[in-house]
């Protein structure tokens, strides 16, 4: 039986996807706003953890209150993989846009509900239970949020601008933190600390409602991404490859067929998010509880640091389109290994200027990861399983990263060593360094399973020529390999004949 060899059609200029600039801007805005709302809650929660500890765990010591409040922050990460599996499968089956509309609704409602929960003094044990349930709902929705938003932006972006466009997603994250922190400082300064502990802490969570409505409006108005639409068109046309690879993926398939991409994804997410949560969620508590700065004082320092990060973020994304993503992952990891302890020496110096410098250095190193993560991760997996694969692997990694505030607080509390967070960062930086050395460069290349994407027809012609040049180089490499194989075959034939000549009964 003869195997029929599939013939691919030659790639022409009309096969290059031209990205509509107005649609791209809308996609980035909608994705970044949803991400901002997610991190607005994380920022608020981190900055009011001291208040939540007193409201929901009043009988414990201040140290235990802090750990308990941060543990409530970390527990929802246990359900994020479930949300990733659910929304990932839905995103690969029904499209990215529909799923992102659902996740932002769940996220807005659950965040709003935190502001409604009565205190422990009012309803007893039900107060922390209701807080945990609201956080679990958040965790489930967030399981599909970042992965979907990153994919949405990546699939809408031209190949040569994917780093710059993707960097705006985490720009939204940082902006959400800034907004959350700014709202906490503003409200606490207006109403005073006593009233803030009584009822003022609830107000930031109520802002989730209008933010959610705006985000839902923007996302609902978007069209599906070009890469996913291409995949759907292939299936409708009866493409055999598309039919044999239905839009769903089990973890077993990811682990066996996509193991290299899985390892890169896990390593990069752990390195990025542990640094993220250490700096932006744990450090406000570290400054107030361990270094005895006033809550508002510590928050103001972090706000200033995050504003600086906003300026650095898109610069790194833009530069990664020129020199690649790998240098930033490797450089950021080496920087953490070498500078984590010096930075914490500055933070513990009791000199405001030096504290600021220590935090700023950590922030720039964090930018090295966040500036390229959203453009790197979606390029790891092919279109038909991209959402499922990325959501599952991303959220499994976040299980480790999400425990960072709790673990850091416990390590400092139990050991009495204020440098434990620095050691923690150094261990994680080793993971980041190995990931950077191991990962393949994805800058200026089409997403796996998708045709090249360009900003305009002129760029499309350049991409087409680059694709032709790449094909020619691969053909030359294969030809060289064939020549080498032919030489090896001839050598084996000579050896075979020499052995036959030595045997009287073989000819």
CATH code, domain carrying 83: 1.20.1250.20
Task: Show which of 435, 455, 475 is a domain's final residue.
Answer: 455
Same structural domain, 445 and 468: no
Higher pLDDT: 9 or 425? It is: 425
CA–CA separation, 252 vs 236, rounded Å? 27
Question: What is the percent of the chain with per-residue pLDDT over 90, rounded to a whole number?
Answer: 19
* One domain, residues 42 and 78: yes
Q: What is the dihedral of CA 126, 128, 129, 135, to 10 degrees?
A: 140
356 and 501 housed in the same domain: no
Residue bearing the bigger pLDDT, 34 or 394? 394
Indicate whether 393 and 464 sit together in one domain: no
* pLDDT class of 234 with cuts at 50, 70, 90: low
Residue 9 has pLDDT above 80, yes or no: no
248 found inside a domain: no
Look at 199-208, 217-226, 378-387 and tell me which has the smallest mean pLDDT: 217-226
One domain for residues 278 and 326: yes
Residue 342, pLDDT score? 95
The answer to whether position 251 is within a domain reads no
pLDDT value for 338:
96
> 103 in a domain, yes or no?
yes
The residue-averaged pLDDT of 331-355 equals 92
Of the given ranges (127-136, 304-313, 330-339), which has the lowest mean pLDDT?
127-136
Confidence of residue 232 (pLDDT cuts 50, 70, 90): low
Whether residue 486 is found in the same domain as residue 379: no
pLDDT digits (tens, 9 = 90+) for 469-500: 777 787 887 887 888 888 888 888 888 777 77
Within a domain: residue 249?
no
> Among 455, 470, 494, where does a domain finish?
455
Residue 243 in this model has a pLDDT that exceeds 50: no
Residues 403 and 263 in one domain: yes
The answer to whether residue 15 is domain-embedded is no
Which of 58-62, 105-109, 226-230, 356-360 ranks highest by mean pLDDT?
A: 356-360
* 79 — pLDDT class (breaks 50, 70, 90): confident
In a domain, 67, yes or no: yes
The distance of Cα 256 from the centroid of its chain, to the nearest Å, equals: 22
Percent helix, percent strand, percent coil in the chain, to nearest 5: 80, 0, 15
CA–CA dist 65, 54 (Å, integer): 7
**What burial letters (b/e) apply to 369-407, b meaning 16+ CB within 10 Å?**
bbbbbbbbbbbbbbbbbbbbbbbbbbbbbbebbbbbbbb
pTM, rounded to two decimals: 0.77
Q: Is the pLDDT of residue 30 over 60?
A: yes
Total number of domains in the chain: 2
Q: Are residues 488 and 447 in the same domain?
A: no
Q: Of 145-154, 191-200, 220-229, where does mean pLDDT reach its minimum?
A: 220-229
Residue 392 and residue 467 in one domain: no
Position 62 scores a pLDDT of: 66
pLDDT in tens, 412-421: 888 889 999 9
Q: Give the count of beta carbons closer than 10 Å to the beta carbon of residue 325.
A: 27
Task: With respect to residue 231, please indicate whether it lies within any of the assigned structural domains.
Answer: no
Using DSSP's 3-state secondary structure scheme, residue 17 falls into strand
Q: Tell me how long the chain is.
A: 507
**Same domain? 144 vs 179:** yes
The DSSP code sequence of 459-500 is HHHHHHHHHHHHHHHHHHHHHHHHHHHHHHHHHHHHHHHHHH
Band of pLDDT at residue 296, cut at 50, 70 and 90: low
- Please state, in angstroms and rounded to a whole number, the distance separating the CA atoms of residues 345 and 343: 5
Q: What is the pLDDT of residue 313?
A: 93
Is 466 a member of any domain?
yes
Q: What is the mean pLDDT of the chain?
A: 81
- pLDDT tops 50 at residue 395: yes
User: Mean pLDDT: which of 64-73, 443-452, 458-467 is highest?
Assistant: 443-452
What is the pLDDT averaged over residues 93-97? 75
In this structure, are 105 and 152 located in the same domain?
yes
d(CA 14, CA 20): 15
- Domain of 220 in residue numbering reads as 21-224+257-455
Residue 3 in this model has a pLDDT that exceeds 60:
no
Confidence of residue 136 (pLDDT cuts 50, 70, 90): confident
My answer on whether 102 and 168 are in the same domain is: yes
């Amino acid at each position: 039986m003869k195997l029929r060899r599939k013939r691919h059609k030659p790639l022409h200029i009309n096969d290059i996807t031209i990205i509509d600039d107005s649609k791209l801007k809308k996609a980035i805005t909608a994705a970044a706003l949803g991400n901002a709302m997610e991190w607005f809650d994380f920022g608020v929660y981190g900055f009011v953890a001291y208040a939540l500890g007193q409201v929901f765990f009043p009988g414990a010591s201040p140290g235990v209150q802090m750990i308990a409040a941060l543990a409530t922050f970390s527990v929802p990460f246990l359900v994020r993989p479930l949300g990733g599996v659910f929304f990932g499968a839905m995103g690969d089956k029904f499209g990215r846009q529909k799923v992102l509309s659902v996740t932002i609704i769940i996220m807005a409602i659950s965040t709003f509900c935190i502001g409604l929960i009565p205190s422990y003094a009012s309803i007893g044990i039900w107060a922390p239970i209701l807080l945990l349930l609201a956080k679990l709902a958040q965790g489930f929705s967030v399981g599909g949020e970042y992965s979907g938003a990153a994919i949405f932006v990546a699939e809408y972006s031209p190949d040569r601008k994917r780093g710059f466009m993707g960097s705006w997603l985490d720009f939204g994250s940082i902006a959400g933190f800034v907004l959350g922190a700014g709202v906490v400082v503003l409200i606490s300064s207006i109403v005073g600390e006593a009233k803030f502990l009584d009822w003022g802490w609830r107000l930031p969570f109520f802002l989730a409602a209008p933010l959610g409505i705006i985000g839902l409006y923007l996302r609902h108005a978007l069209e599906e991404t070009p890469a996913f639409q291409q995949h759907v068109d292939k299936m409708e046309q009866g493409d055999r490859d598309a039919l044999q690879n239905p839009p769903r993926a089990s973890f077993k398939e990811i682990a066996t067929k996509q193991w290299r991409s899985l390892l890169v994804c896990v390593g990069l997410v752990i390195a990025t998010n542990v640094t993220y949560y250490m700096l932006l969620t744990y450090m406000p508590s570290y400054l107030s509880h361990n270094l005895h700065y006033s809550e508002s004082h510590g928050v103001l320092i972090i706000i200033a640091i995050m504003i600086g990060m906003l300026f650095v973020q898109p610069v790194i994304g833009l530069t990664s389109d020129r020199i690649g993503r790998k240098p930033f992952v490797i450089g950021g990891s080496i920087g953490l290994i070498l500078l984590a302890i010096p930075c914490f020496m500055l933070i513990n110096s009791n000199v405001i200027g030096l504290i600021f410098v220590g935090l700023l250095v950590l922030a720039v190193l964090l930018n090295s990861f966040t500036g390229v993560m959203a453009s790197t991760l979606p390029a790891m997996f092919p279109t038909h399983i991209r959402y499922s694969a990325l959501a599952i692997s991303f959220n499994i990694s976040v299980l480790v990263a999400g425990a960072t505030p709790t673990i850091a607080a416990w390590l400092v509390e139990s050991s009495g060593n204020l440098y434990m967070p620095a050691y923690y960062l150094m261990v994680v930086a080793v993971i980041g360094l190995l990931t950077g050395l191991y990962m393949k460069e994805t800058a200026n290349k089409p997403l796996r399973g998708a045709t090249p994407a360009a900003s305009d027809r002129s760029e499309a012609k350049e991409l087409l020529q680059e694709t032709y040049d790449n094909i020619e180089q691969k053909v030359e490499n294969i030809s060289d390999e064939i020549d080498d194989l032919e030489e090896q075959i001839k050598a084996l034939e000579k050896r075979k004949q020499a052995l036959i000549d030595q045997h009287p009964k073989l000819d």
